[in-house]
């Protein structure tokens, strides 16, 4: 606690992304937890943006004017998880929580992260990439097997994601994804159990199983109360459980993520974990998945938030 005395701890939240409202909830919860730890935070709500032109300069001025010594990043999605705010903080020489610029960019970019998973023999669904300027008339359902998952290459919280069972629905799903990104990932759909492995202090936390009432863990299932059941720890056999933790940690390390993250996976029909993505700034409310996993390891929410802050104070 001595490392905190006299320091202004800024909590960055809000921002321009589609996940702004979730970020505000994370940031508010982080501020409350810091106060419970005897720390008075400096809440910094980053503004919305009608255009990203000049947005970075405006945020840099705001952060500089706040006179903070340390930044606790509770931003999700664009500008917060993609290395942009991290780059600003490094230019301002302000230490910040979580992963660095490169790992943040890789975690946000589903295409580059998949390439790294493949290079490190980390199982991930087969996929193809479509850009707006490309001919998208190929029969991806035949190529990858039906159904397929269509999603933007750089969004979180399942925003813009569709599961496509038939060719007639493919173009609508593709156009929906293109509203969020110029590049779209078309991915093999893996049938199985949805699980996530939180990482804290670069160690795997207890495995969480996610049981949505809908077909998959979409934005509504994530954030609407009562839509999803969680089992912590997941009720899977010992060998599979250990494999999930090992592969989750491998994915975290392969991207160069720092201190904490959350790795989302599917446990396929052969009981083998398949990695979907690494979230470098997962949700940080008391009911979010990383805090659920930490709680199962005996780490309360206030302690979790202090541990994340503590990493950059010593």
Task: Report the catalytic residues.
Answer: 19, 157, 223, 262, 264, 277, 279, 283
33 close to 302: Cβ distance less than 8 angstroms: yes
Tokens representing residue 91 in the block: 């230019």
Least Cα distance to 292 among 159, 200, 176 occurs for 200
Q: Residue 155 and residue 185: Cα distance in Å, rounded?
A: 11
DSSP 113-154: HHHHHHHTT-----EEEEETTS---S-HHHHH-SSEEEEETT
Q: Residue 18 and residue 15: Cα distance in Å, rounded?
A: 9
What backbone torsions phi and psi does residue 294 show, to the nearest 5 degrees?
Answer: -60, -40
Q: Residue 284 and residue 81: Cα distance in Å, rounded?
A: 13
55 close to 265: Cβ distance less than 8 angstroms: no
Rounded to a whole number, what is the largest CA-CA distance in the chain? 62
Tokens representing residue 39 in the block: 């720390």
Q: Residue 139 and residue 244: Cα distance in Å, rounded?
A: 33
């Amino acid at each position: 606690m001595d490392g905190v005395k006299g320091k202004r701890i800024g909590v960055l939240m809000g921002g321009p992304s589609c996940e702004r409202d979730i970020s505000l909830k994370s940031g508010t919860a982080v501020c409350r937890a810091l106060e419970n730890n005897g720390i008075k935070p400096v809440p910094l709500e980053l503004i919305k943006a009608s255009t990203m032109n000049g947005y970075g300069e405006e945020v840099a001025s705001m952060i500089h004017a706040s006179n903070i010594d340390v930044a606790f990043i509770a931003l999700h999605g664009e500008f917060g998880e993609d290395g942009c705010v991290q780059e600003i903080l490094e230019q301002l020489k302000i230490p910040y929580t979580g992963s660095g610029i490169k790992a943040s960019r890789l975690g946000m970019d589903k295409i580059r992260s998949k390439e790294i998973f493949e290079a490190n023999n980390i199982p991930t669904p087969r996929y193809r990439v479509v850009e707006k300027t490309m001919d998208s008339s190929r029969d991806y359902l035949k190529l990858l097997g039906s159904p397929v998952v269509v999603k933007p290459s750089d969004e979180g919280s399942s925003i813009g994601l569709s599961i496509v069972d038939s060719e007639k629905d493919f173009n609508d799903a593709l156009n929906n994804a293109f509203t969020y990104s110029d590049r779209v990932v078309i991915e093999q759909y893996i049938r199985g159990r949805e699980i996530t492995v939180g990482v804290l202090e670069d160690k795997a936390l207890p495995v969480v199983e996610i049981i949505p009432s809908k077909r998959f863990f979409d934005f509504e299932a994530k954030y609407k109360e009562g839509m999803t059941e969680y089992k912590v720890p997941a009720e899977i056999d010992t060998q599979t459980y250990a494999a999930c933790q090992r592969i989750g940690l491998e994915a975290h390390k392969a991207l160069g993520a720092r201190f904490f993250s959350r790795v989302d996976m599917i446990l396929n029909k052969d009981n083998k974990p398949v990695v979907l993505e690494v979230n470098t700034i997962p949700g940080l409310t008391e009911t979010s998945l990383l805090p659920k996993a930490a709680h199962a390891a005996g780490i309360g929410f206030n302690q979790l938030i202090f541990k994340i802050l503590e990493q950059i104070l010593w």
